[in-house]
Structure 1
Amino acid sequence: MIRILPVATPVAAILAALLAAPSYAAESKEESCRYQGQVMAAVQQARMDRVRQEKVEQTILADNPDWPEQYSKAIPQLTAHVYSMKRRDLRKVDLGATFEEQCLENWDQIQAMKKQLQSN
């Protein structure tokens, strides 16, 4: 039996995470997307390390990650998505790199959505 893994992160997970992680004027698009990819990679690694879902955020933050603190707000949403996937499927993909790439590709749309949400 061949399993087909959706490599692309679902739109809802992307939007939840990207909207939760504020971008500051001092941060470039590349920096922001890199941090977001690092958060996703950390969640994926926690899943591969068999960290219980309810302990993921605590475990990741205990390692004092390199990204700015505000990016950690996306951990719960990303955890729900990553933990819905089978570990054997996660071995075959790099969700951090995929997430970073999608962030870069969709940056302008995401910024427009953030702006629209802030104006409401």
Structure 2
Amino acid sequence: MIRFAFAAVLAIGAAPALAQETKEETCALQAQVVAAVQQARLDRVDERDVQAHILAQSPEWPEKYNNAIPLIAPWVYEQKRRVIRKESLSDAWNELCLQQ
């Protein structure tokens, strides 16, 4: 599932509007989205409400990254709670992104 979500988010990164951003910047912004979804899961926000919950907090990433939330959420929500509590999914995402 991470491969699907990752591929879908990379498609967002391939958009011409992102041409100004470096790969490192794009990966870091995607990792911020992952961290926000992970925090929502820790806060026990229902998966169906995660996008509205995150957007209500006025995230600092560019608006185009909001489209990644519903693509990333299923991957985060399928992780076991102990993984969500102990691991940084955003670090894992950033590392995988930079390898692409």
The answer to whether the superposition gives a TM-score over 0.5 is: yes
Quote the RMSD (CA, aligned, Å).
1.5
Cα offset, 1:92, TM superposition: 1.9
Cα offset, 1:84, TM superposition: 1.2
Who is 1:26 aligned against? 20
Pick one of 43, 53, 60 that aligns with 1:49: 43
Code of the aligned partner of 2:50? V
Who is 2:95 aligned against? 101
For the 8 Å contact 1:18–1:36, the answer to whether it is kept is no
Residues in 1 aligned to 2:76 and 2:19: alpha-carbon distance in whole angstroms: 29
Cα offset, 1:74, TM superposition: 0.8
Secondary structure of 2:20's partner?
A: coil
The TM-score normalised by the length of structure 2 is 0.89
Structure 2 unaligned regions, length at least 5: none
User: Over residues 36-73 of structure 1, what are the superposed CA-to-partner deviations in whole Å (9 max), with x where a residue is unaligned?
Assistant: 00000100110011001111000101111111000110
- The worse-fitting range, judged by mean Cα deviation, of 72-81 and 11-20 is 11-20
Residues in 1 aligned to 2:7 and 2:22: alpha-carbon distance in whole angstroms: 18
Residues in 2 aligned to 1:78 and 1:25: alpha-carbon distance in whole angstroms: 22
The TM-score normalised by the length of structure 1 is 0.75
User: Greater CA radius of gyration, 1 or 2?
Assistant: 1
Pick one of 5, 29, 35 that aligns with 1:35: 29
Which 4+ runs in 1 deviate beyond 6 A? none
- How many percent of aligned residue pairs carry the same amino acid? 46
Number of aligned positions between the proteins = 98
Cα offset, 1:25, TM superposition: 2.0
Code of the aligned partner of 1:16? A
Pick one of 57, 70, 83 that aligns with 1:89: 83
Residues in 2 aligned to 1:72 and 1:65: alpha-carbon distance in whole angstroms: 9
